[in-house]
Structure 1
Amino acid sequence: MSDAMSPAVDATATLEARLARFPVRVADLGGACVSYREASGPDGAAPLVLLHGIGSGAASWVQQFEVLGAARRVLAWDAPGYGASTPVAARSPIAADYALRLRGWLDALGIARCVLVGHSLGAIVAGAFAAAASERLDGLLLLSPAGGYGAAPQAVRAQKRDARLAMLAELGSAGLARQRSDNMLSSHADDASRAWVRWNMARVVPHGYAQATHLLANADLVADLAAARTIYTGPVEVAVGEDDAITPPAACEAIARAANAPFAIVPGAGHAGYVEAPDVYNALIDAFCRSAQAQRSI
Structure 2
Amino acid sequence: MSDVTTMEQQMPRSIVRLSNGRLSYLENGSGTPVLFLHGLNGNGSSWVDQLSALAPTMKMWAWDAPGYGESDVAGDSVTDLANVAIEFLMACDSGPVNIVGHSMGGLVAMKIAIMKPGLVKRLILSCTHPGHGLSDQEGANERYQRRLRELKELPREEYGRRRAKGMLPADASDLVFRRVADIAAESRPEGVVNAAWAIQTANLQPELSQIQAPTLVITCDRDSVAPLKKAQPLLDQIPDVRHLELRGLGHAPYIEDALRYNAAVSDFLIGV
Taking structure 2 as the reference length, the TM-score comes to: 0.92
Give the match for residue 238 of structure 1.
Answer: 217
What displacement does 1:132 show? Answer: 0.4
- 1:252-278, Cα deviation, whole Å (9 max, x unpaired): 233222224211210101011111110
What displacement does 1:19 show? Answer: 2.5
What displacement does 1:94 show? Answer: 1.5
Distance 2:77 2:128 in 1: 16
In structure 1, which of residues 24, 30, 33 is the aligned counterpart of residue 22 of structure 2?
33
Say yes or no: does 1:56 pair with 2:45.
Answer: no
- 1:145-174, Cα deviation, whole Å (9 max, x unpaired): 143211579537454543433333332643
Contact 1:173 1:206 in 2 (8 A): no
Identity percentage over the alignment?
27
> What's the secondary structure of 2:27's corresponding residue?
strand
> 167-176 or 102-111: which moved more?
167-176
Distance 1:134 1:35 in 2: 25
In structure 2, which of residues 236, 246, 250 is the aligned counterpart of residue 266 of structure 1?
246
In structure 2, which of residues 70, 73, 84 is the aligned counterpart of residue 84 of structure 1?
70
- Give the number of aligned pairs: 271
> What are the residue-to-residue correspondences of 1:117-132 with 2, within 5 Å?
117-132=100-115
- 1:95-151, Cα deviation, whole Å (9 max, x unpaired): 110110001111222342210010000001011111101100110110001432115
Distance 1:196 1:267 in 2: 20
CA shift in 2, pair 1:15/1:169, >3 Å? closer
> What's the secondary structure of 1:140's corresponding residue?
strand
Distance 2:181 2:147 in 1: 18
Which letter does structure 2 place at the counterpart of 1:165? L
Question: In terms of Rg, which structure is larger?
Answer: 1
Distance 1:202 1:265 in 2: 28
> What are the residue-to-residue correspondences of 1:150-189 with 2, within 5 Å?
150=133, 155=138, 157-159=140-142, 161-171=144-154, 173-189=156-172
Distance 2:19 2:198 in 1: 23
> 260-269 or 237-246: which moved more?
260-269
Q: Which runs of 5+ in 2 are unaligned?
A: none
Contact 1:27 1:109 in 2 (8 A): no
Give the match for residue 8 of structure 2.
Answer: 19
Give the structure with the higher percent strand.
2
Which letter does structure 1 place at the counterpart of 2:266? D
> What are the residue-to-residue correspondences of 1:204-223 with 2, within 5 Å?
204-223=187-206
Contact 2:41 2:163 in 1 (8 A): no
Distance 2:4 2:149 in 1: 32
> 21-30 or 78-87: which moved more?
21-30
> 56-65 or 163-172: which moved more?
163-172
Give the match for residue 126 of structure 2.
Answer: 143
Give the match for residue 200 of structure 1.
Answer: 183
Taking structure 1 as the reference length, the TM-score comes to: 0.84
Q: Which runs of 5+ in 1 are unaligned?
A: 1-11
Which letter does structure 1 place at the counterpart of 2:48? V
> What's the secondary structure of 2:2's corresponding residue?
helix
CA shift in 2, pair 1:172/1:150, >3 Å? farther
Give the match for residue 252 of structure 1.
Answer: 231
CA RMSD of aligned residues (A): 2.0
> 274-283 or 260-269: which moved more?
260-269
CA shift in 2, pair 1:111/1:34, >3 Å? farther
